[in-house]
Structure 1
């Protein structure tokens, strides 16, 4: 098997040669030096007119290649799951016009939250801006944005409100009825929402939820969730609220 450096060069050169591709970036744990030997490889192709999923299929790499929009649209508008030299690759399509629009919105403190599989709190549309900031550019030129002050304020406020409302609804609609599963789900979601707020308040980019609670210092929520019973739901919600409120207050931007 080739070295990691040779493998990265090989994949980058093949992707960069495709019509319409303006840049290629490496993301995920491998871009940040936190990967394990079995970690997959996350690549993104940044493109303008002329790029098509058929160009990826034409590389001849085994796997599944989606059409544009097949992954639900929004910030995840498609990609591929491929195997190259016995290594697993996740490839994301990134249309530069959309990325530039999201960057302009982020600088003004505007964003939306989209539903996405495997994300308890959903995914903010400034995800693509976070990728620009933390991913490693392998080919082409891409903006390398700092965290906009307007986004720090807006995202902290929005995620904080979402976390508090999630807990309030669970207390009102489920706790008194002994709905353990519903309350457990609400606690998990509220914790992730609060963690997004903490990260935004600190000006720390987030690209996934895998280490979100740890980075925000909210892993103690596990202990609260672990002692849920039908008779302890209101107390657990109160304890979660206290934990989250402390972190939200400490991370509120000036």
Structure 2
């Protein structure tokens, strides 16, 4: 299968507009299972020849052009090769390079994107390159960018850690929702508060966070983090209760967790 993927990458870089192809996801990190998808980042610049890309994918595959999957995930295609899912994920290289420049200056965005309940955090673009494997790169641009992103920018680290203040603000907001027994509002506040903390903890460890999936499992194993962080988060989000009294008690536990984590981050 690996040879099929490498051959596919070589065909993809012949599509006008495509600059390079990167293997991403669990396959690139060596964390995959036999049934895991093969995620191919297809990096392009300027006008992308969608007709050529669709011809390569085949008539039975729908290819979404730039923006077809939303402002951040962009576009791509879902294929099946020998019964295994192969995903093409379009990435505008100019935009990725701009995000990387922002990261080096400590700037980031959080955009609304379907499939990302915590939002799409722009540093993901740099993290994808840092953790990816270059499969096809005729101009060596991806190889150069990957080498750069291996070093986590200190200005970005500082800003993501500083942004953890939002978790404290959200817990305060959840307190009011708990008094009204507003389960939905409390749940949204607490889940986002945890997500913000996890983003900050990844930065604290100088580790790229690519998305919400599996992020808690990674965060709770970070060196220096109290071993009860993960179990406490699961307790909060898994059984928050439905009455005002139950929700208030849950929010109080969340407040304690947030305060302890902020002490660690600000240490």
| TM-score (norm: length of structure 1) | 0.90
Shift of residue 167, structure 1, vs aligned partner: 1.8
Q: Is 1:92 the counterpart of 2:106 in the alignment?
A: no
Query: Using a 3 Å threshold, how does the CA distance of structure 1 residues 234 and 78 change in structure 2: closer, same or farther?
Result: same
Matched, 1:150 2:155: yes
Query: Does the CA contact (< 8 Å) of 1:201 and 1:252 recur in 2?
Result: no
Q: Quick check: 1:219 aligned with 2:230?
A: yes
Instruction: Answer yes or no: is the 8 Å Cα contact 2:36–2:84 preserved in 1.
Output: no
Provide Cα deviations, 1:205-239, integer angstroms capped at 9, x if missing partner: 01111111122224221112333221211221121
Shift of 1:248: 3.3
- Secondary structure (helix, strand or coil) at the match of 1:116 reads coil
Who is 2:224 aligned against?
none
Corresponding residue pairs, total: 247
Aligned partner of 2:201 in structure 1 is 198
Listed as ranges, the gaps of 5+ residues in structure 2 are: 221-228
Aligned pairs (5 A) from 1:65-84: 65-73=63-71, 75-84=72-81
Cα gap change, 1:87/1:168 in structure 2, threshold over 3 Å: closer, same or farther?
Answer: same
SS in 1 for 2:88: strand
Partner of 2:170: 166
Extract unaligned runs of 5+ from structure 1: none
Alpha carbons 1:63, 1:82 under 8 Å: kept = yes
Contact 1:42/1:90, CA 8 A, preserved across alignment: yes
Corresponding position of 2:226: none
| Structure 2 CA distance for partners of 1:60 and 1:111, relative to 1, 3 Å | closer
The answer to whether the aligner puts 1:135 opposite 2:132 as a matched pair is yes
CA distance in 2, matches of 1:252, 1:129: 25
Where do residues 1-254 of structure 1 align in structure 2 (5 Å cutoff)? 4-61=1-58, 62-73=60-71, 75-140=72-137, 141=140, 142=142, 143-144=145-146, 145=149, 146-158=151-163, 160-172=164-176, 174-217=177-220, 218-220=229-231, 221-229=233-241, 230=243, 231-252=245-266
Q: Aligned partners of 2:185 and 2:93: how far apart in 1?
A: 40
Equivalents in 2 of 1:8, 1:20: separation in Å?
Answer: 20
Judging changes above 3 Å, is the alpha-carbon distance between structure 1 residues 119 and 249 closer, same or farther for their aligned structure 2 residues?
farther
- Please, what TM-score do these two structures have when normalized by structure 2? 0.86
Q: CA deviation at 1:52?
A: 2.8
User: What is the CA distance between 1:164 and its match in structure 2?
Assistant: 1.9
CA distances 1:42-72 after superposition (whole Å, capped 9, x unpaired) = 1111112342332221114332211211222
